[in-house]
């Protein structure tokens, strides 16, 4: 009855593993990440053994040495970090505080939107770095010019992103709220703000990334303190370990700030 | 006359389309809905059913005519009319319970404790006990529509306006929700204005079926359904049910032939 035949039953089907575009098991994920980081550092260690590369790329050991001496010598390192962070927070903070109401006003009043949108779209196409010389001419080399450049660049990215989010709020939700007797004010505070909240966080992430880019550009000219200034100064003395230390510090700061916002997102938008 | 809840008289509605011909959506539509009636509107897609419902909901304007509720002109949306949208319209950042409580928020009538108790009552009514703290994304389509129905009933509206509420659901879920809606209506007798394009559904639920024709949307015929309540899916086996169904199908099919001549 169950005679063997070429086309017949040949044991359980071995199912093909189909791509599901998931993240894979958590354990595997962690392991691969750890391997990746360790081998990256190892690779860095090895290639800096080559003298011609070591002339511009400091080794992990040299960078660690630079970190020790920079933190020891009258705390230069922490002072640079603090001043850079202050510039980021002031510029980004102002940008964030202005972007939210302006984006909401644009979403709420079409006339206001028509008034400001052409300007926002125009200035958005200009790389913020191109504004630095003008801002320095207007405000000098002090902190004000740094705050201003970061403010402008972060404001522009964030206002566009938040406004886009407001436009994407499902209009049926607004209608539903009206049927329960909501006033325009209720619609604004109870529907628009919570519905647009995820976009506000997306905007904040983009804003932080923009703030760091603009920060370093602004610090490369005519400033003594700040991470960018320190990198620029070290380059003139061919101090490759301090240059690299500065670059890595920016990376760590950017990564940490991004993770903080991601954490807020995870805590507040479980419903997404 | 005192029994009359909604009065629609000679309503005309034309959409002005930029760079195109204006669309005449509703032409001389007149309809009266009495208290405790279950009115179903059937008609081909695009005939203006949603537009008519939105006008009664106060979400849409019209060009001429009269739309009144209890003798007062309808000038905007309000909690005396509960609206159920085909796409559920649940607030995704609120749990099931918060969605239902939100509906009562602007009534300024209940304390937080009362809102909690009322939401409990309606969560029970739509069989969602145990799902109070779920977010909409964690629910199936049928469950979402149950939440929307509970949310609308919780404000005790004088009329429920339902725009193809079961249109996106699979056949079994749809049959279940039809029965649940019948039970609720038989108990609470809240007037229903229910849009569907499913003739079976209309005859099963309605005490009165309104047939609309399209381009422009007009009321073609009104059929009173004299099948006794309580009804259930077995009602569909009734001879009289099929008489009504075939009669309505005939009209709908003739309209189809006319349009596609
Ligand atoms: N905002 C609008 N602008 C222009 N035409 C519209 C608009 N909304 C609906 N219509 C048109 O009005 C007609 C009726 O639409 P609708 O009331 O949604 O019909 P139904 O719900 O019966 O399918 C359709 O032809 C549709 O294309
Ligand atoms: Mg419709």
The Cα B84–Cα B148 span in angstroms is 7
Ligand 1 atom closest to B48 (CA): 17
Task: Name the pLDDT band for B144 (thresholds 50, 70, 90).
Answer: very high
The Cα A246–Cα A252 span in angstroms is 10
Identify the closest residue of chain A to B154 by CA–CA distance: A180
The predicted pLDDT at position B215 comes to: 83
B138 pLDDT higher than 70: yes
Helices marked H in chain A: 26-47, 51-54, 60-72, 76-108, 110-124, 132-139, 143-167, 171-179, 184-186, 193-219, 227-236, 240-268
* pTM to 2 decimal places: 0.86
Contacts of B92 in chain A (CB under 8 A): 195, 271-272
The predicted pLDDT at position A8 comes to: 62
Distance of CA B141 to the CA centre of its chain: 17
- CA proximity to A84, closest of A200, A202, A251, A260: A251
Q: Mean pLDDT for each 10-residue chunk of chain A (272 residues)?
A: 58 79 88 95 94 91 91 84 96 96 94 95 90 90 92 96 94 96 94 94 96 92 88 90 94 95 91 88
The predicted pLDDT at position B1 comes to: 44
The predicted pLDDT at position A9 comes to: 66
Q: Which ligand is nearest to the CA of B27?
A: 1
Task: Show Cβ contacts of residue B115 under 8 Å, excluding neighbours closer than 6 positions.
Answer: B101, B104
Tell me whether residues A175 and B59 touch, CB distance under 8 A: yes
DSSP codes joined into one string, chain B: -TTEEEEEEEEEEEE--TTSPPEEEEEEEEEEEETT-EEEEE--TTSSHHHHHHHHHTSS--SEEEEEETTEE--S--TTEEEE-TT----TTS-HHHHHHHHHGGG--S-HHHHHHHHHHHHHHTT-TT-TT--GGGS-HHHHHHHHHHHHHTT--SEEEEESTTTTS-HHHHHHHHHHHHHHHHHH--EEEEE-S-HHHHHHH-SEEEEEETTTBEEEEEEE--PPSS--GGGGGSHHHHHHHHHHHHHHHHHHHHHT-
Tokens of A10: 């040949």
Q: Is the dihedral of CA B246, B251, B252, B256 positive or negative?
A: positive
Task: Show Cβ contacts of residue B255 under 8 Å, excluding neighbours closer than 6 positions.
Answer: B44, B213, B214, B220
- CA proximity to B66, closest of B4, B22, B15: B4
Q: Give A258's DSSP letter.
A: H
Q: Which residues of A touch B (CB under 8 A)?
A: 170, 172-173, 175-176, 178-183, 186, 190-191, 194-195, 197, 269-272
For residue A50, the tally of other CB atoms under 10 A from its CB is: 10
Tell me whether residues B107 and A269 touch, CB distance under 8 A: no
For the CA atoms of B108, B111, B112, B118, what is the dihedral angle to 10 degrees?
-90
A83: left (phi over 0), alpha (psi -120 to 50) or beta: alpha
Task: Name the pLDDT band for B214 (thresholds 50, 70, 90).
Answer: confident
B67-91 residue pLDDT tens: 999 999 999 999 999 999 999 999 9
The predicted pLDDT at position B195 comes to: 97
Which residue among B13, B15, B84, B163 has the greatest number of ligand 1 atoms within 8 angstroms of its CB, and so is best to mutate? B15
Q: Kindly list the domain boundaries of chain B, sorted by start residue.
A: 4-80+158-259, 94-156
Report angle CA A13, A15, A20 to the nearest 5 degrees: 165
For residue A205, the tally of other CB atoms under 10 A from its CB is: 18
As for ligand 1, residues whose beta carbon falls within 6 Å of it are B 15, 17, 23, 25, 43, 45-51
A120-138 residue pLDDT tens: 999 999 998 898 889 989 9
What percentage of chain A carries pLDDT values higher than 70? 95
Residue with tokens 């010389």: A133
B127 pLDDT higher than 50: yes
The protein residue with its alpha carbon nearest to ligand 1, atom 7, reads B15
The Cα B195–Cα B39 span in angstroms is 8
Q: What is the mean pLDDT of residues B196-207?
A: 94
CATH architecture of the domain with residue range B4-80+158-259: 3-Layer(aba) Sandwich (3.40)
The Cα A148–Cα A95 span in angstroms is 9
A205-237 residue pLDDT tens: 999 999 999 999 999 887 889 999 999 999 989
Beta bridge mates, B184: none
* Domains with residue ranges and CATH for chain A: 58-268 (1.10.3720.10)
Contacts of A180 in chain B (CB under 8 A): 79, 102-106, 155
């Amino acid at each position: 009855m169950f005679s063997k035949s070429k086309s017949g039953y040949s044991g359980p089907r071995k199912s093909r593993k189909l791509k599901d575009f998931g993240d894979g098991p958590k354990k595997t994920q962690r392991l691969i990440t750890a391997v990746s980081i360790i081998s990256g550092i190892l690779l860095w260690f090895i290639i800096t053994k080559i003298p011609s590369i070591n002339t511009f790329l400091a080794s992990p050991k040299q960078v660690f040495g630079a970190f020790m001496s920079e933190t020891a010598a009258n705390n230069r390192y922490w002072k640079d970090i603090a001043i850079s962070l202050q510039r980021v927070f002031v510029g980004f903070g102002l940008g964030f505080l202005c972007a939210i109401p302006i984006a909401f006003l644009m979403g709420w009043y079409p006339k206001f939107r028509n008034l400001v949108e052409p300007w926002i779209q125009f200035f958005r196409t200009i790389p913020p770095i191109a504004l630095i010389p003008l801002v320095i001419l207007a405000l000098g080399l002090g902190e004000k010019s740094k705050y201003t450049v970061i403010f402008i660049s972060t404001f522009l990215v964030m206002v566009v992103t938040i406004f886009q989010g407001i436009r994407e709020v499902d209009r049926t939700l607004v209608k539903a709220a009206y049927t329960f007797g909501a006033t325009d004010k209720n619609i604004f505070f109870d529907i628009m703000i919570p519905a647009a909240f995820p976009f506000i966080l997306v905007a904040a992430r983009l804003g932080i990334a923009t703030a760091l880019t603009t920060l370093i550009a602004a610090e490369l000219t005519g400033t003594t303190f700040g991470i960018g200034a320190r990198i620029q100064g070290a380059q003139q003395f061919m101090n490759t370990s301090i240059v690299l230390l500065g670059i890595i510090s920016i990376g760590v700061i950017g990564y940490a700030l991004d993770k903080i916002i991601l954490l807020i997102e995870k805590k507040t938008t479980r419903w997404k | 006359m005192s029994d009359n809840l909604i009065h629609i008289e000679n309503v005309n509605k034309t959409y002005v389309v930029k760079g195109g011909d204006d669309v005449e959506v509703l032409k001389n539509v007149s309809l009266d809905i009495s208290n405790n009636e279950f009115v179903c509107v059937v008609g081909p897609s695009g005939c203006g059913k949603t537009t008519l419902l939105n006008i009664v909901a106060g979400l849409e304007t019209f060009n001429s005519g009269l739309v009144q509720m209890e003798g007062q002109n309808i000038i905007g949306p309000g909690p005396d009319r509960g609206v159920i949208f085909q796409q559920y319209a649940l607030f995704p950042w609120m749990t099931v319970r918060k969605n239902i409580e939100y509906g009562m928020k602007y009534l300024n009538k209940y304390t937080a404790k009362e809102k909690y108790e009322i939401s409990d009552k309606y969560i029970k009514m739509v069989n969602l006990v145990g799902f109070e703290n779920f977010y909409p994304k964690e629910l199936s389509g049928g469950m979402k529509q149950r939440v929307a129905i509970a949310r609308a009933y919780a404000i005790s509206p004088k009329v429920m306006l339902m725009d193809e509420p079961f249109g996106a659901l699979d056949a079994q879920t749809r049959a279940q929700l039809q029965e649940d809606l019948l039970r609720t209506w038989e108990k609470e007798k809240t007037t229903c204005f229910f849009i569907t394009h499913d003739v079976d559904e209309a005859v099963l639920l309605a005490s009165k079926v309104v047939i609309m024709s399209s381009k422009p949307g007009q009321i073609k015929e009104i059929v009173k359904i004299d099948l006794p309540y309580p009804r259930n899916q077995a009602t569909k086996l009734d001879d009289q049910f099929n008489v009504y169904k075939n009669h309505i199908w005939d009209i709908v099919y003739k309209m189809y032939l006319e349009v596609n001549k």
